[in-house]
Amino acid sequence: MIPIVRGWLSGLVYTALLKRGAPLRTMGGACAWAFVDAELNERSIVYSGGVGHDISFEKELVRTHRCSVWLFDPSVTGRRTMEEAANRVPRIHFLPVGLSGTSGDMGFRPPSEPGEGSFTLALPGRVGVRLPCRDLQSLMADFGHDRIDLLKLDIEGFEYGVLEQVIGARLDVRQICVEFHHQPAIAVGRWRKHRQVVELLRHGYSLMSRRGNDFTFLVKGKAGRPS
């Protein structure tokens, strides 16, 4: 199938799957995300994978909802961003590790453009640098969290392993904002994205927002602000 036609058809399917009626809010600067605003308050627990050059979304969550945010990024780009004085924000807890489906040192491909800064999932056999990663379940156990109210994943190909653990381990993750990556450069195909969306829907999540490869899901049966 011609790629442009395939993309048009998948866009129609995702539009048909969108759940209507829930109020959405978009926050952040260069890295903005849409989410169900009514689901968050000062008792909410937010895990955010991926710093890059911009944590405007996380800072806005703290400012507007007083959420506690745990922010993860093992790259030199992320560490430098978090060293900036403007990003030392109460309620944002930074750990220089990546989110992954399993814990351990994982292979990353350094950015092709240094100014852009994104370290991506390495191609098999072409590990550029190994960086420490943690799986979601072990992090929740270490921090004593029995739920995550919002999980944001902008982690350059590692999102699939994390979401597979969310489903397989039945983790209580109530809302997910994820950018799906399917570029050949990180060895992830477009069909894996489609399969992952189907799996989330099959396990009780509703598609609330979709802009390009940015998706927001809310799990059914978890409505209501966290107590």
* Residue 199, helix vs strand vs coil: helix
> How many CB atoms within 10 Å of residue 70?
20
Looking at per-residue pLDDT, the higher value among 58 and 124 belongs to: 58
Q: Which domains does the chain have, with CATH numbers?
A: 20-219 (3.40.50.150)
DSSP state letters, 135-176: EHHHHHHHHT-S-BSEEEE--TTTHHHHHHHHHHTT--B-EE
Give pLDDT, residue 149: 98
Bridging pattern class, strands 104-109 and 120-121: antiparallel
Asked whether 66 and 90 are in contact (CB, 8 A), the reply is no
Looking at per-residue pLDDT, the higher value among 55 and 181 belongs to: 55
C-alpha to C-alpha distance for 26 and 36, rounded to whole angstroms:
9
Residues 165-192: tens digit of each pLDDT: 999 999 999 999 999 986 555 545 567 8
Give pLDDT, residue 117: 61
Residues 72-98: tens digit of each pLDDT: 999 988 899 999 999 999 999 999 999
> Considering only 2-6, 172-176, 209-213, which range has the smallest mean pLDDT?
2-6
Share the mean pLDDT of the chain: 86
Instruction: Assess whether pLDDT exceeds 70 at residue 163.
Output: yes
Asked whether 201 and 17 are in contact (CB, 8 A), the reply is yes
C-alpha to C-alpha distance for 51 and 152, rounded to whole angstroms:
11
% of the chain with per-residue pLDDT over 70? 83
The DSSP secondary-structure symbol of 188 reads: -
Per-residue pLDDT band at 132 (split at 50, 70, 90): very high
C-alpha to C-alpha distance for 40 and 47, rounded to whole angstroms:
13
Sign of CA dihedral 130, 176, 139, 53: positive
Instruction: Assess whether pLDDT exceeds 60 at residue 225.
Output: no
The pTM assigned to this predicted structure is 0.87
**Residue holding tokens 């590790």?**
97
